[in-house]
Structure 1
């Protein structure tokens, strides 16, 4: 599997392109905005996007999803159903944070713990990782030892839990019991900032280190 990271919106959110090298069949994860830039990145790599994947319902991760789905004629999958209230509130989120108006969003498929998302012949395992939001999910590609973790974990930090229905204890459990359990060698793409590994964070992250 190959991937590229596109920082989008004023929040510098990491929108990810994931694709199968041989077939160019691809997915877009968390297209928060800047849809024209995402489309250009898809075109220059000659990718055939099959679906859009969402880790959670915050505007900087989903703001461009509906427009991109219409442009590419592809379905939207994720997050977990407990984030429906965030997707219902997209118009209010747009007003609060100065994003272009976006109507409420209902994905074509809600995702749950243990579900599998297919991208070409690639399989991404879904982990339900609540805490930052109640319906947050992460996408795990075991053969590549790669995880897309949204706003659960960052290099040297963790996701905020002061939003509605945030839960600090649940977030710590999601990181330690679900993500760290995958193995120290996993590289993860966070929702913002640089890549890291679970091992590096387990050793030195001040919020979740051993």
Structure 2
């Protein structure tokens, strides 16, 4: 749904819109240019739209915050709180969930398919089994008939869930870790896998492609 403001299409379609984008960015805002405009966005995401003008902080805090859409209409990443909100699950048509928390229970085990990976966000957690397990689970869900939609979550949706999402993007999109990380951060700004996870993802990259494509310095900048 989004288009890069620096792309040739964005420049040729609307130079005025691009100038507006940069002016808003310079004011500290975070604008997004939508393909098809607001009407196209509203058609796909009516639950994210409201006829009300949100003017004060209290009103903003009352809004439902949804998981980040990593692959359009397919893969989402978020927090344990979002994964336990049935309105979010229903609106996004989630069918499969990867639960990467150590203690948070599966919220809807009778209606959704779960992969439970009891992971801790620390320097000792081994992901050697979790990375391929999560990748296979996500891939099977997305390739099912009909195709499923997957939510990957940990407690805050920053470190453990990011490591699992990156592993899937590397394996099934055939992306380097650096490319996958850039893609993920564009769609989920809070992405922050810990250094232990980054090192294990570098090893996973080497296993997938037969050689190291990314350095630790590349992804810690």
Q: TM-score, normalised by structure 1?
A: 0.35
Give 1 or 2 for the bigger CA radius of gyration. 2
| Larger helix proportion of the pair | 2
| Larger strand proportion of the pair | 1
